[in-house]
Structure 1
Amino acid sequence: MTAVDDRRMTEYFESFEAPEGVKVELLRGEIVMMAGPDVVHNLIVLFVQRQVPVGRWYPLQTQDVDIPAESSEPQPDLVVLPAEAAPESGRLVPASALAMVVEVVSKTSKLRDYVTKRSIYAAGGIPTYLIIDPFQAKCVVLTEPFGAGEEADYRTERTSKFGEPVPLDVLGLTLDTAEFGTLP
């Protein structure tokens, strides 16, 4: 896509009105729509959010992220940013302000979460990407982003099963996953 095409797509995306209950994201110039999440999904996000110490960190749901070099405005299930880096207002938070993004895998998001968003978040320089997979009962912590575009990735990948502690060094905490539910 050219810069003009990217700008037009972004303008169209920002004016697009999704049906109620539908989540919409701009991923590498494509508008992606998905149904609302399962209760298990929402509870996992809640359990993670409750473990992030508010005051030092702001864990935010339904927050759009600006990754300009990627023509992407993903909406992770949870973003975590230092309290002092939080913008005063606005729909988009710059990727550079984030410490971590969290995606909980759904039936229709597996490829996006494990592949597309992995490279988008790495290209945006987001230090930690946590993938929580209730179908496989595991957490994947990705750190040390490098590269650009679709070739961007994370150098370090650590996998833990549900019930095992998950170290989140970027936040200085260990995530308790004992309450995370699973899906068939």
Structure 2
Amino acid sequence: MWRTTEMTAVDERGMAKFFEGFQPPDGVKVELLRGEIVMMAGPDLVHNLIVEDVQDQIPRKRWARLQTQDVDIVDEASEPVPDLVVLDREAQPESGRLLPSQLITLVVEVVSKTSVDRDYVVKRSIYAAGRVSAYLIIDPIVAQCVLLTIPAGTGDDADYRSQRISKFGEPLPLELLGIELNTSDFGTFKGVRPHRHP
């Protein structure tokens, strides 16, 4: 993973402007997270299969299920690209690169070997600041799901008031979508040192 950190002469808004014209190398995922450009290599197969499994369980007729969708976080120099974005089909705009965060019902991030702190700490605060109703972290390192709901606060102090942790294999109710997520087929990373999040 490469990082281009904030420059002293450029504030976060300036970095956001720079990011608009930034062209990453092929096969590299790029996000703007609070003024920092973060680039990652393509995801592992385990990661992709989990995203596909979750997407398949969300009813397509009611919900738009979008991958690689840039999200606009209001009042933040952040444009995250969640692994999966879910919103009511009636709420989706007709076009545009950036999807306003307040339209989103659920974002899903599948933890990779290099994204643990980003997914559990940085993005947790960013999505809460953007008033995303629910944030689901799926973690193949420690075989758990963390469902965060009820966003509150602003900026760096934003967080979710409710947190529910479940292990892979346990059904996970997603009341906002009216479904129960089956996690029994989610794969795990082998030989990766466990962490202590959330």
Q: Shorter-chain TM-score: which interval?
A: over 0.9
* Percent of residue pairs identical: 66
Q: Which residue of the partner structure matches residue 21 of structure 2?
A: 15
Could you list the per-position Cα deviations for residues 44-82 of structure 1 after superposition, in whole angstroms to 9, with x for gaps in the alignment?
A: 000000001011100100001000312100000000000
* 1:51 equivalenced with 2:57 (yes/no): yes
The 2-side partners of 1:68 and 1:165 are apart by 33
The 2-side partners of 1:77 and 1:145 are apart by 20
Which one of 112, 118, 121 corresponds to residue 118 of structure 2? 112
Which one of 157, 162, 169 corresponds to residue 163 of structure 2? 157
Match of 2:159, as an amino acid? D
Residues 1:173 and 1:43: Cα distance change in structure 2 (over 3 Å): same
Match of 2:103, as an amino acid? A
Q: Which runs of structure 2 are paired with 1:1-184 in the superposition (5 Å)? A: 5-184=11-190
Which structure carries more helix by proportion? 1
For residue 120 of structure 1, report the CA deviation from its aligned partner.
Answer: 0.3
Match of 1:124, as an amino acid? G
The 2-side partners of 1:93 and 1:40 are apart by 27
SS in 2 for 1:68: coil
For residue 11 of structure 1, report the CA deviation from its aligned partner.
Answer: 2.0
The 2-side partners of 1:118 and 1:6 are apart by 19
CA RMSD in angstroms comes to: 1.2
SS in 2 for 1:9: helix
The 2-side partners of 1:6 and 1:136 are apart by 34
The 2-side partners of 1:6 and 1:85 are apart by 29
For residue 147 of structure 1, report the CA deviation from its aligned partner.
Answer: 0.3
8 Å contact kept, 2:13–2:35: no
SS in 1 for 2:11: helix
For residue 14 of structure 1, report the CA deviation from its aligned partner.
Answer: 1.2
For residue 10 of structure 1, report the CA deviation from its aligned partner.
Answer: 1.7
For residue 6 of structure 1, report the CA deviation from its aligned partner.
Answer: 3.6
Could you list the per-position Cα deviations for residues 116-159 of structure 1 after superposition, in whole angstroms to 9, with x for gaps in the alignment?
A: 00000001000100000001000000000000111111111000
- Count how many residue pairs are aligned between Structure 1 and Structure 2: 182
Match of 1:160, as an amino acid? S
- Deviating above 4 A after TM superposition, structure 1's stretches of 4 or more consecutive aligned residues are none
